[in-house]
Structure 1
Amino acid sequence: MTDLRSLLAAHTETRREEWLYTPLFFRLRQEDDRRRLQDLCRCQNDLVMLNPFRGQVEELIKTRHPDRQFSREELQAAVDEYLGDAPEEKGVWVYYPWRKTLVHLLDEEEFVFVRTNRNRNKITQQEQEVLARKAIGVIGLSVGQSLALTLAMERVCGEIRLADFDTLELSNLNRIRAGVHHLGMPKVIVTAREIAEIDPFLKVVCFADGVNEENLDRFLVEGGRLDILVDECDSLNMKILCRLKARELGIPVVMDTSDRGLLDVERFDLEPDRPILHGLVDGLDYDTLKGLSNQEKIPYVLRIVGGDAISARLRMSLLEVGKTVCTWPQLASSVTLGAAVGTDVCRRIALGQFRASGRFYVDLEQLIADGNCLVV
């Protein structure tokens, strides 16, 4: 293993630290990890140490015995028994270099058990174990950021691959959950860090140059073939290319469009001859879609999403791209809805509970604003 001092030194070179997104783990019952942590404490003068461990142990004990009502004294006695004479050796200490913060957590199995306990039984324990073996890739981290975070919170997979070449801009903050202190940082790093802070045991792989013709195969298969591909990229030629590759590999594709709750599902794992994007791009020359401006993309976007099917406000905005607006609009509420619907469908695909392909709408304006809802 790389010497800790060398590792930290590498991370603090000019601008290197801001790209870091992987936490470090220290299990103090192992002598080498104890030495490494001591080394960290000596060389990191402004280290912040957080120890919320006892509260996690309380939760662990209660979730293991949901049928038992502990008195305060009984619970504290059970916690003390769990901690033993060396509580610092229980669990794992997780260091987040970008925050210079060390946190004492339950180790992976117990951490995951407690963190996902409130999923029961909308997601059963057995289903959670199946999901932990799944890998999902997300291309494009505007809409995709919200979806990736929701996948992580629900723990719909054990590995998330993220791809986006872009950096965070101020105009992104109308829909991307981030802060002004993240401006100028790669979107993949912003997203990966937040996932690591939710669950440091989730495997996150970043493609900070996005996906392209050279690395798409690696994104889809390196370290094991993806179980699901989520496409949220703006590049039209990559939308086609990633589907061609996904179809070749038998990987289902899910895409949220953030308008009228539109979700596209293409089950290339079940339908190896299924037309790309439901046949809506048949006859399009892949090469002609490279490097188009936002304004030049509009006819192709309308062909894909359906000019008559989009909302009236999106239709009006598309006509103004390059005139009064820079690009097409996306609202946080629509992105959040897409994350919810996309995560639900990804989970059910991964569990074999959803086998359909097609185009699906969860149109809130139609369901609620027009009064088409159940009034109690």
Structure 2
Amino acid sequence: MSTTLAQALSAGCRRLNDRQVEFYRLEDPSQSARLASLLQQHPEIQVFDELPAQISELIKLRHPTVRLTDADIQTKVAAHLGTTPSEHYGVWVYYPWSARLVHILDEAEFIELRTSRNLQKITVAERELLSQKKIGVIGLSVGQSVALTLAIERLCGELRIADFDQLDLSNMNRIRTGVHNVGVLKTVIVAREIAEIDPFLRVICFDEGITDNNIDQFLTEGGKLDILVEECDGLDIKILARKHARALQIPVLMDTSDRGMVDVERFDLQPDLPILHGRVPETLTPADVRNMQGPARMALVDSIVNFSALSAKMQLSLQEIGKTITTWPQLASAVMLGGAAIGHVCRELCLGGHIESGRYYVDLEQIFKQTK
């Protein structure tokens, strides 16, 4: 390997887990000086400044009943800026993992403009209510689609995400990312993508996944979660998360990416509700699950998902595990559908909707049933 390539690889590895953005508000002389130093030290940084277009769009948004000419807009942009130089307005956001510096509106105006096309499906009052919500996502395969839906629609103000795994190339049949992220922690990939969509959305990462030691921290530190979305592969963590969530009266949602199945467990309304709709014994502990082998473990999976209720292709696939395939298959279309379904339920619950505990299906094969 050449010295140049080795040096480049080493530099890349040092930034492998970067996920925090840096904010620079140039009205503050100290921040202005720090940004100037950053740009001087790193001439490779790409700078993106479309702030005037953002202000123009914001002005049009605020005058929906008026047909503004280009001249009108320019006049109002100038009035909006006042004596503030354009480069000092808003905030500069630096993304260290991609060496990009982006000039955007500051938080309140950014959120107003970015979510403006949600109106009136999500009202301003509802947007404010949602901004106070905290949602946790455990497992970032289906969970990546969920987390990004929550972020794009801005259905919460804080997201907690947990996964111990790094991205494998085979994960990319359902996880939307680039090949440059192979080997990067899934939490890092999701946190970065959310920051590039909305740098003001608070994202807290649990890179070690969920364990006996950190489950309560995940559910309660900095304020109790309003909703837990459980999408992990670990059967023991499914039990652990639900028992702790039930004790704290946090509702739990789960999508299985087959037949559009969504589980809703309203522990907030039914603190005595049996976990997983009573499909597993209440006496079953995470330690019991970890000690399960072979047939007993498969029997537990059957209890949870009900093999006979799976799609025909999934039932055939299960018979091939350990023969022609190594694990439970998932398709991108099903994972994205799951993200949409969970996003819908999260929004409704956060806004006080009355979705009952139960198992629901958004079964595309049934909806689009083939007739020949």
TM-score tier, shorter chain, comes to over 0.9
Cα distance in 1 for residues equivalent to 2:328 and 2:270: 32
Tell me what 1:45 maps to: 43
Q: Are 2:75 and 1:68 aligned?
A: no
Partner residue of 2:204?
205
Are residue 359 (structure 1) and residue 359 (structure 2) matched? yes
Residues 93-142 of structure 1: CA deviation (Å, up to 9, x unaligned)? 10001011110000000000000000011111100000000010000000
Matching residue's letter, 2:171? N
| Alignment gaps of 5+ in structure 1 | 1-11, 372-376
Paired residue for 2:182?
A: 183
Partner of 2:4: none
Q: Which amino acid aligns with 1:304?
A: I
In structure 2, distance between residues paired with 1:206 and 1:17:
16
Partner of 2:327: 327
Amino acid paired to 1:137:
G
Residue 260 of structure 2 corresponds to: 261
Report SS of the residue matched to 1:353: coil
Superposed displacement of residue 80, structure 1: 2.2
Counterpart in the other structure of 1:30: 28
Does 1:105 find its partner at 2:104? yes
Q: Which amino acid aligns with 1:120?
A: L
Query: 1:200-249 CA distances to partner (integer Å, 9 max, x unpaired)?
Result: 00000001110100111111111111110000000001000100000011
Greater CA drift, 306-315 or 186-195: 306-315
Contiguous gaps of at least 5 residues in structure 2: 1-9
Q: Evaluate the alpha carbon distance shift between residue 84 and residue 232 of structure 1 in structure 2; reply closer, same or farther with a 3 A threshold.
A: same
Mapped pair 1:80 → 2:58: no
CA distance in 2, matches of 1:104, 1:123: 27
TM-score, normalised via structure 1 length: 0.92
Distance, in Å, in 2 between the alignment partners of 1:331 and 1:292 is 28
Matches within 5 A, 1:30-179: 30-85=28-83, 86-179=85-178
More displaced 10-residue stretch of structure 1: 26-35 or 146-155: 26-35
Deviations 1:157-176 (A, max 9, x none): 00001100000001100000
Once the two structures are overlaid, the 10-residue window that deviates more, 292-301 or 234-243, is 292-301
Deviations 1:299-329 (A, max 9, x none): 3222111121111111111111111110011
Tell me, yes or no, if the aligned pair for 1:20 and 1:97 is still in contact at 8 Å.
Answer: yes
SS of 1:15's partner is: helix
Partner deviation per Cα, 1:44-67 (whole Å, 9 max, x = no partner): 121111101011001110111111
Q: Using the alignment, how far apart are the partners of 1:335 and 1:293 within structure 2? A: 28
Query: Superposition pairs for residues 271-350 of structure 1, below 5 Å?
Result: 271-282=270-281, 283-290=283-290, 297-350=297-350
Structure-1 separation of matches of 2:364 and 2:38:
51
Quote the RMSD (CA, aligned, Å): 1.6
Aligned length: 360
Instruction: Give, in whole Å, the separation in 2 of the partners of 1:294 and 1:300.
Output: 10
Equivalent residue letter for 2:222: G
Q: CA deviation at 1:288?
A: 2.8
* CA-CA distance at 1:297 after TM superposition: 4.1
1:284 deviation in Å?
Answer: 3.5
Structure 1 residues 23 and 285, CA gap change in structure 2 (3 angstroms): closer
* Worse-matched range after superposition: 72-81 or 121-130: 72-81
Q: Do the aligned residues in 1 keep the contact of 2:240 with 2:285 (CA within 8 Å)?
A: no
Are residue 249 (structure 1) and residue 248 (structure 2) matched? yes
TM-score (norm 2): 0.93
Residue of structure 1 in register with 2:13 after alignment: 15
- Which range is displaced more, 236-245 or 32-41? 32-41
In structure 2, relative to structure 1, the CA distance for the partners of 1:288 and 1:322 (3 Å cut) is farther
Identity %: 52
1:5 equivalent in structure 2: none
Per-residue CA distance 1:173-218 (angstroms, 9 max, x = gap):
0000011100000000001100000000000000111010011111
Amino acid of the structure 1 residue aligned with 2:57? E
The CA distance in 2 between the partners of 1:143 and 1:290, in whole Å, is 23
CA separation in 2, counterparts of 1:53 and 1:202? 20
- Matched letter for residue 61 of structure 1: I
Q: CA offset at residue 78 of structure 1?
A: 1.1
1:232-288 deviations in whole A, cap 9, x for unaligned?
000001000100000011100000000000000001111000000000011545323
Kept in 2, the 8 Å contact 1:139–1:230? The answer is: yes
CA distance in 1, matches of 2:302, 2:197: 37
| TM-aligned CA distance change 1:290 to 1:50, over 3 Å | same
